[in-house]
RNA sequence: GGCGGCAUAGCCAAGUGGCCCAAGGCGACGGAUUGCAAAUCCGUUAUUCCUCGGUUCAAAUCCGAGUGCCGCCUCCA
């Protein structure tokens, strides 16, 4: 079955085919490093990671590029606001470079803790200013951009397809009147490619003047082209990036290269918190440390955030993390059961027992993932497998296939515990001591040791065939 | 004011014309099991998919109107 993705540009599901067979060029819009990433950001990056993982499972070589915006850019194209990295620097009374460096480190740590695979390149905007200037020069030369004093603007009227991605039209943008009119712009919707401002701290000299800095959108156009070439297969981001960011990128890149910029556009839906928008004023902008402080592991967070389809709204509450934790335990059991059966422990007499259930789960899993990354359906196949195996039993040979399937699922999802957990010597001694106490029917001692073990994070379960333990998250 | 999305059980969440009296999860309830506890196992938990109208032999799925929520249009994943 072919992999289908929902393309935001055509607004329909399309079979995914890269330009070059076997190779996928993917650009993911990354963070602006002026603050700690929150769970909403993480959802979007997790979506990009899941996409990358699934493409790799399908056998593609994925050339993934995720940028880091470490250059301040104006809060809006009309120049009315201020640079947010510099604003944060002022609040913290620190150097803006130090701010962006610090939050870049935190971002990388967060994303690694969540199990995101490392992209091939993480280009920084600050290191690509020459490429941006080259593109700006090219746009001026081709008549798509114009210089006014030390500023350069993109002339939207020269690019008829402007608005195709977002559904906005230049005429409506004008009528909307929410764009502040700048006298020097030829059209209110024209956006900045380069700005001059001596007061800006992060700035570069160019032929437009000694104190300039790039517009927001140009960085992605320049970095994508440098690291992936003129035509991308996939470009992703959060839904808020559709307009203006991606609309402007298309205008810049396509005007510059004369080729379509990205073959498929994918956008993830915003994460809601407590049923509404997350905002600083409501105090519900949670980051990874908040999640940890509430006692949830990053694996539980990852599971909670991929449980909903990336294009649907997902409501973040502490309750969904608790649900996620309970549900994950079931999947951990499934993994443990399959491992045990593969070793011959508690395996069904018939080697083939459970084989059909494994095959069916795999089919359902792949069908889900191939349908525009329907992770909820893929996850359901794992739970169904668990139920089916309890009913049919699992033979040794079928278990080997089960293990291969679980490894396949794990490659795509990154939330399963495939490796056997081990207990340290001290824990083994405690378990033995409790076993002795139980044979003596010394329940008081046995329960005391069980509490001790529980305090160390291991849950015990007495079964007819012996004691089973599980590490608690 | 313009553009777009969403609305499925107590909660989370798939399904987008017949296989749906609707997957899966969480929770709850009943039973089994157990030294106890936890866990586990078995069973139950939407004749119905926001409301109203329409199209169709057939609709959660298509169309229209309404209601509610969310996002974008100004930085934001």
Concatenated DSSP letters of A73-112 = --SSTTS-S--HHHHHHHHHTS-HHHHHHHHHHHHHHHHH
Query: Residues of A358-382 as b/e, b for ≥16 C-beta within 10 angstroms?
Result: beebbebbbebbbbbbbbeebbebb
pLDDT of residue A75: 44
Residue A183: per-residue pLDDT: 64
The b/e string for A106-128 (b: 16+ C-beta within 10 A; e otherwise) is bbeebbebbbbbebbebbbbbeb
Q: Cα angle at A34 between A301 and A205, to 5 degrees?
A: 145
Highest mean pLDDT among A114-118, A238-242, A441-445: A114-118
Work out if A463's Cβ lies within 7 angstroms of strand B.
Answer: yes
Closest to A254 (Cα-Cα) out of A6, A4, A9, A7: A9
**Checking DSSP bridges between strand A458-463 and strand A314-316, what pairing results, if any?**
unpaired
Strand B within 7 A of A133 CB = no
Q: A288-303 b/e with 16+ CB inside 10 Å = b?
A: beebeeeebbbbbbbb
* Distance, Å, A330 CA → B31 C1': 22
Strand B and A309 CB separated by under 7 Å: yes
Tokens 């009913």 correspond to: A391
What average pLDDT does range A83-102 have in this prediction?
80
- The distance (Å) linking the CA of A442 with the C1' of B53 is 73
Which residues does A133 contact at the CB level (< 8 Å), separation at least 6? A194, A204, A206, A214
Interior CA angle at A366 toward A360 and A370, to 5°? Answer: 150
* Angstrom distance, A230 CA to B60 C1': 43
Of A146-155, A167-176, A357-366, A400-409, the range with the lowest mean pLDDT is A167-176
Q: What is the largest CA-CA distance in chain A?
A: 91
The phi and psi torsions of A25 (rounded to 5 degrees) equal -100, 110
What would the mean pLDDT of A22-48 be, rounded to a whole number?
93
- The distance (Å) linking the CA of A15 with the C1' of B10 is 39
Q: Give the pLDDT confidence score for residue A172 in this predicted structure.
A: 66
pLDDT band per the 50, 70, 90 thresholds, residue A120 = very high
Nucleic acid strand B within 7 Å of A391 CB:
yes
Q: Residue with CA nearest B37 C1'?
A: A447
User: Model ipTM?
Assistant: 0.92
Residues in chain A, overall count: 473
| Cα–Cα separations (whole angstroms), residue A327 to A34, A321, A331, A404 | 35, 10, 7, 22
**Average pLDDT in chain A:** 88
The distance from CA A228 to its chain's CA centroid, rounded to whole angstroms, is 20
Closest nucleotide relative to residue A326's CA, C1' based: B26
A191-196 β-sheet, strand order: A145-148, A151-154, A191-196, A209-214, A204-206
Q: What is the pLDDT of residues A251-298, one digit of tens each?
A: 999 999 999 999 999 999 988 888 778 877 777 889 999 999 998 999
- Model confidence at A166, in pLDDT bands (50, 70, 90)? confident
What's the confidence (pLDDT) of residue A466? 73
Q: Which nucleotides of B are covered by protein (CB under 7 A)?
A: 1-7, 11-15, 23-27, 33-42, 69-77
Instruction: Return all residues near A429 (Cβ < 8 A) that are at least 6 apart.
Output: none
For the segment A49-77, what is each residue's pLDDT rounded down to a tens digit?
Answer: 999 999 999 999 999 999 999 886 654 44
User: Strand B closer than 7 Å to the CB of A77?
Assistant: yes
Distance CA A40, CA A240 (A): 12
């Amino acid at each position: 079955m072919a992999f289908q993705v929902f393309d935001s540009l055509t607004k329909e599901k399309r079979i995914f085919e890269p330009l070059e067979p076997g190779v996928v060029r993917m650009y993911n819009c990354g963070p602006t490093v002026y603050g700690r990433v929150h769970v909403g950001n993480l959802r979007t990056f997790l979506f990009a990671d899941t996409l990358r993982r699934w493409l790799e499972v399908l056998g593609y070589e994925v050339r993934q590029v995720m940028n880091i915006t470490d250059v301040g850019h104006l809060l809006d194209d009309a120049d009315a606001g201020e640079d947010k990295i510099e604003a944060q620097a002022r609040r913290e009374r620190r150097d803006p470079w130090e701010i962006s460096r610090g939050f870049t480190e935190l971002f990388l740590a967060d994303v690694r803790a969540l199990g995101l695979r490392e992209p091939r390149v993480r280009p920084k905007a600050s290191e690509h200013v020459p490429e941006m200037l080259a593109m700006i020069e090219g746009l001026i030369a081709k008549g798509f951009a114009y210089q006014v004093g030390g500023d350069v603007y993109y002339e939207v009227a020269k690019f008829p397809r402007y608005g195709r991605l977002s559904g906005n039209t230049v005429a409506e943008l004008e009528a909307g009147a929410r764009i502040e009119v700048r006298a020097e712009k030829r059209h209110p919707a024209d956006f900045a490619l380069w700005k001059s401002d001596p007061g800006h701290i992060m700035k570069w000299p160019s032929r437009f003047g000694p104190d300039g800095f790039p517009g927001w959108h140009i960085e992605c156009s320049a970095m994508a082209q440098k690291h992936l070439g003129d035509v991308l297969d996939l470009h992703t981001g959060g839904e808020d990036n559709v307009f203006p960011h991606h609309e402007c990128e298309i205008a810049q890149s396509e005007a510059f290269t004369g080729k379509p910029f990205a073959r498929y556009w994918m956008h993830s839906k915003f994460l809601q918190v407590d049923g509404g928008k997350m905002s600083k004023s409501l105090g519900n902008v949670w980051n990874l440390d908040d999640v940890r402080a509430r006692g949830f592991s990053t694996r539980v967070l990852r599971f909670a955030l991929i449980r909903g389809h990336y294009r649907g709204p997902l409501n973040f509450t502490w309750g969904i993390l608790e649900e996620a934790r309970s549900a994950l335990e079931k999947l951990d059991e499934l993994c443990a059961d399959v491992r045990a059966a593969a070793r011959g422990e508690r395996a069904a007499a018939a080697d083939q027992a459970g084989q059909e259930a494994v095959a069916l789960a795999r089919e359902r899993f792949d069908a889900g993932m191939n349908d525009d990354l329907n992770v909820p359906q893929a996850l359901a196949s794992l739970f169904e497998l668990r139920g089916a195996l309890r009913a049919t039993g699992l033979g040794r040979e079928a278990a080997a296939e089960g293990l291969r399937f679980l490894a396949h699922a794990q490659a795509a999802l990154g939330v399963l515990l495939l490796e056997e957990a081990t207990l340290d010597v001290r824990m083994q001694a405690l378990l033995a001591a409790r076993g002795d106490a139980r044979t003596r029917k010394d329940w008081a001692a046995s329960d005391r040791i069980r509490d001790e073990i529980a305090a160390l994070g291991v849950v015990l379960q007495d079964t007819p065939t012996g004691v089973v333990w599980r590490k608690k998250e």
